[in-house]
Amino acid sequence: MVDGDRTWSFVVAANRLPVRRVWEEGTARWVPSPGGLVSALRPVMADNPDAVWVGWSGVPGPGTDPFEMDGFRCHPVEVSQGELQLFYEGFSNATLWPLFHDALVPPEYHRTWWDAYRTVNHRYAATVAQLAAPGATVWIHDYHLLLVPGLLRRARPDLKIGFFLHIPFPARELYIRLPWRTEIIDGLLGADLIGLQTPLSADNFCRAAARVTGAPTTNKTIHHDDRTTRVGAFPIGIDAQRIAGLAADPAVQARSTEIRRSLGSPRTVLLGVDRLDYTKGIEVRLRAFRELLAEGRLSADHCVFVQIAEPSRSQVTGYGEVRRAVEQLVGDVNGNFGVMGHPVVHYLHQSQPIEELVAMYQMADVMLVTPLRDGMNLVAKEYVASRPDNSGVLVLSEFTGAAQELKAAELINPHDIEGLKAAMESAALRNPADARSAMRAMRRVVRANTAQRWAERFLDRLALGE
């Protein structure tokens, strides 16, 4: 699909566009895309008339025409039904996603998936090459497009190319299992600057690149093929002002009160908000909650646990299993500890608009963010940004990027169920005033490192070229 002859000085490429097309009763409409990548990048793009976002519409088959959104251009890339299975569900989400998340489920290696991954990466690179103005800045995002920097560098050596990985980069010992480890590192090294969420991921990447290419790596700079690629940690933030604005909105506040009342006005509400993904540690927090009830350390008369699980990647290995396990646990806890008309766990397998999520963040005394591994986790930051009165306790896994910044959270190891139980119990029983100084400290961090600041830091460093 062409976009006239127009070219753009700033091009973003990500697997998904910021909106996805859904069909309801024969009519199509655009709704916000899931995940942290889109929510962080959207404010960066808003009202930039010289920016274009290249990505997939969320629907397989022939693409739609380019269109305007929030004052910038969206340029859809076509992904066929077959490619959806091999490139997206296969190589992206059943090879790279589990491998990069510490092989929490076994990654699968299939040559047909790899072929489709290469084909789709070629298509993205060709589209960007066509849309980018001479000397333009191109920012490529995430694990679906690891080959695009190298392909683009060959087609358009004039471009400034940045790449940001939103998920963790694994330890070298894991990464080198990948049969296509050399092609992927070569692809990434087409970028001038590679950004990762944490210093650990940046180190892991440099060690893997040194091992695979044999290239000298000094001080986060890799010299390869007569070029230099810089590597750095750029932890992503949220649009803190937007969330704070929603938290101050009387309609959102009224909704928050209404939700709490509908839960039976319990003394303590614990909340989890996640895509339904095996990396998120939803099962572990439900098991911990069940044990706390069984041991009488928390009481179903006073506590309610709300879990929002956004449907995600239901066709991919591991996702059906985690859904069944979570739903069995919810049924088990409610069957054993609920009373008629008052379930102790409220579970929604539905996505929610951000207004509804902020209303939930506001009514939750304890926020449970317990992933086994997570690049950043923006839900943790959204919760903090929704607590202007400094109340509320964030229980946060050490294995999230967010834990590097939100050091005042109640940090837990999600593999240590007794430690998690102790943290949940003390958070649920804590006097709200005692939590205030921790929340105040976390709010400072979230306000200082917004999505906008993150993008500025990355793009300034890319522009500097040193």
Binding mask 231-260 for ligand G6P (x = CB under 6 A): ------------------------------
Q: How far is the CB of 94 from ligand G6P (least distance, A)?
A: 11
Which one, 253 or 317, has the nearer CB to ligand G6P? 317
313 binds ligand G6P (CB under 6 A): yes
For the chain, what is the HEC assignment? Answer: CCECECCEEEEEEEEECCEEEEEECCEEEEEECCCHHHHHHHHHHCCCCCEEEEEECCCCECCCCCEEECCEEEEECCECHHHHHHHHHHHHHHHHHHHHCCCCCCCCCCHHHHHHHHHHHHHHHHHHHHHEEEEEEEEEECHHHCCHHHHHHHHCCCCEEEEECCCCCCCHHHHCCCCCHHHHHHHHCCCCEEEECCHHHHHHHHHHHHHHHCCCEECCEEEECCEEEEEEECCCCCCHHHHHHHHCCHHHHHHHHHHHHHCCCCCEEEEEEEECCCCCCHHHHHHHHHHHHHCCCCCCCCEEEEEEEECCCCCCCCHHHHHHHHHHHHHHHHHHHCECCECCEEEECCCCCHHHHHHHHHHCCEEEECCCCECCCHHHHHHHHCCCCCCCEEEEECCEHHHHCCCCCEEECCCCHHHHHHHHHHHHHCCHHHHHHHHHHHHHHHHHCCHHHHHHHHHHHHHHCC
What the block records as the tokens of 253 is: 């506040």
By CB under 6 A, is residue 60 in contact with ligand G6P? no
How many residues in total does the chain contain?
466
| Shortest distance (Å) from residue 35 CB to ligand G6P | 2
Q: Is residue 35 within the footprint of ligand G6P (CB under 6 A)?
A: yes
As measured in angstroms, the least distance from the Cβ of 274 to ligand G6P is: 11
**What positions carry a catalytic annotation?**
166, 374
Tokens of 181: 């480890």
Closest CB to ligand G6P among residues 141, 156: 141
Residue recorded with tokens 């076509």? 78
Q: Figure out which of the listed residues 312, 362, 370, 449 binds ligand G6P, where binding follows CB under 6 A.
A: 312
Q: Closest distance between ligand G6P and the C-beta of residue 116, in Å?
A: 16
> From the CB of 277, what's the least distance to ligand G6P, in Å?
8
Per rule CB under 6 A, is residue 36 in the interface with ligand G6P?
A: yes
Residue whose CB is less far from ligand G6P, 337 or 458: 458
Between 362 and 400, CB nearer to ligand G6P = 400
195 binds ligand G6P (CB under 6 A): no
Among 12, 13, 37, 45, binds ligand G6P (CB under 6 A): 37
Largest CA distance in the chain: 70
Question: Does the footprint of ligand G6P cover residue 34 (CB under 6 A)?
Answer: yes
Nearer to ligand G6P, 375 or 414 (CB): 375
We find the least distance from the C-beta atom of residue 89 to ligand G6P, in angstroms, to be: 9
Q: How far is the CB of 251 from ligand G6P (least distance, A)?
A: 28
> Considering only 35-43, 292-300, 414-422, 442-450, which stretch makes contact with ligand G6P by CB under 6 A?
35-43
- 373 part of the interface to ligand G6P, by CB under 6 A: no
**Using rule CB under 6 A, residue 32 touches ligand G6P:** no
> Please, what is the minimum distance in Å from the beta carbon of residue 103 to ligand G6P?
17
Beta strand 67-69 with 72-76: parallel, antiparallel or unpaired?
antiparallel
Binding mask 11-30 toward ligand G6P (x if CB under 6 A, else -) reads: ----xx--------------
**How far is residue 74's CA from residue 70's CA, in Å, rounded to a whole number?**
10
Which of positions 103-142 make contact with ligand G6P (CB under 6 A)?
Answer: 142
166 touching ligand G6P, by CB under 6 A: yes
- Considering beta carbons, is residue 36 or 98 the nearer one to ligand G6P? 36
Part of the chain binding ligand G6P (CB under 6 A), chosen from 31-39, 197-205, 296-304, 323-331: 31-39
Interface ranges with ligand G6P (CB under 6 A): 15-16, 34-37, 142, 166-167, 312-313
